[in-house]
């Protein structure tokens, strides 16, 4: 379970709505927007979109998607304010592309 999911589930224990908003905002501020952004996950089991893509389309299609995504982030990196974040995302997608078709040891979400 992610920090965001925990914060949302813990809302029942918090009486003050302002405190709930503050807690969820703090989780978003500390979120890892490169390796596991919460907006790419779904459901109670925290299934990341890229894992669902692997199941639906297979490793080869996801590898190609990752290479195209890396290209996209490199293409736009100096056109937006967060160029270092775009570089990190491009690297992430390239690392994930390398991990597909292997035993997954290079999966960037696992600290490789």
Whether 13 is in a domain gets the answer no
Has this prediction a pTM greater than 0.85?
no
Q: Between residues 58 and 35, which one has the greater pLDDT? A: 58
pLDDT at 70: 95
Whether 11 is in a domain gets the answer no
Range of the domain at 63: 32-110
pLDDT at 77: 86
Whether 54 is in a domain gets the answer yes
* Alpha-carbon gap, residue 47 to 12, rounded angstroms: 24
User: pLDDT tens digits, residue range 50-69?
Assistant: 888 988 999 899 999 999 99
* Alpha-carbon gap, residue 79 to 56, rounded angstroms: 33
pLDDT at 69: 95
* Alpha-carbon gap, residue 32 to 34, rounded angstroms: 6
Token pair of 25 as six digits: 């905002």
Whether 7 is in a domain gets the answer no
**pLDDT band at residue 112 using 50, 70 and 90 as cut-offs:** very low
Number of domains in the chain: 1
Whether 10 is in a domain gets the answer no
pLDDT of 88 strictly over 80: yes
């Amino acid at each position: 379970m992610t920090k965001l999911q925990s914060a949302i589930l813990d809302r029942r224990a918090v009486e003050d709505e302002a405190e709930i908003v503050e807690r969820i905002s703090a989780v978003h501020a500390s979120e890892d927007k490169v390796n596991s952004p919460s907006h790419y996950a779904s459901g109670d089991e925290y299934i990341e979109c890229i894992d669902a893509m692997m199941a639906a389309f297979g490793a080869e299609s996801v590898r190609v998607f990752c290479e195209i995504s890396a290209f996209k982030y490199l293409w736009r990196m100096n056109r937006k304010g967060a160029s270092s974040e775009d570089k990190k995302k491009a690297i992430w997608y390239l690392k994930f592309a390398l991990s597909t078709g292997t035993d997954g040891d290079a999966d960037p979400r696992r600290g490789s």
